[in-house]
Amino acid sequence: MVEIWFTESWNAYWQDAAAAQAPLYPAPESLIGNIYPPLSFYAVGLLGKVLHVDCVYVGR
């Protein structure tokens, strides 16, 4: 059995954004924020892109 933590979809969103070379820090007036260190998003996003799997699985 695999436990699903409530932040996995949030992390996968930012990891996909990092893999697509989208900006990780949105404009200050936007409704979305990012308080996590971006290095992990780049690492997991790159692995997900290289392995052709979802970032949720790579992040686990």
| Residue 14 resides in a domain | yes
- Span 34-57, mean pLDDT? 80
| Residue 41 resides in a domain | yes
Q: What six digits make up the tokens of 32?
A: 């979305």
| Total domains in the fold of the chain | 1
| Residue 40 resides in a domain | yes
Give, in degrees to the nearest 5, the angle at Cα 19 between 26 and 55: 105
| Residue 2 resides in a domain | no
| Residue 54 resides in a domain | yes
- Span 41-60, mean pLDDT? 84
Per-residue pLDDT of 6-45, as tens digits, reads 777 877 888 888 888 888 777 778 887 666 667 777 888 8
| Residue 4 resides in a domain | no
> How far is residue 16's CA from residue 25's CA, in Å, rounded to a whole number?
13
Per-residue pLDDT of 2-17, as tens digits, reads 566 777 787 788 888 8
| Residue 1 resides in a domain | no
User: Domain containing 46: what range?
Assistant: 9-26+35-59
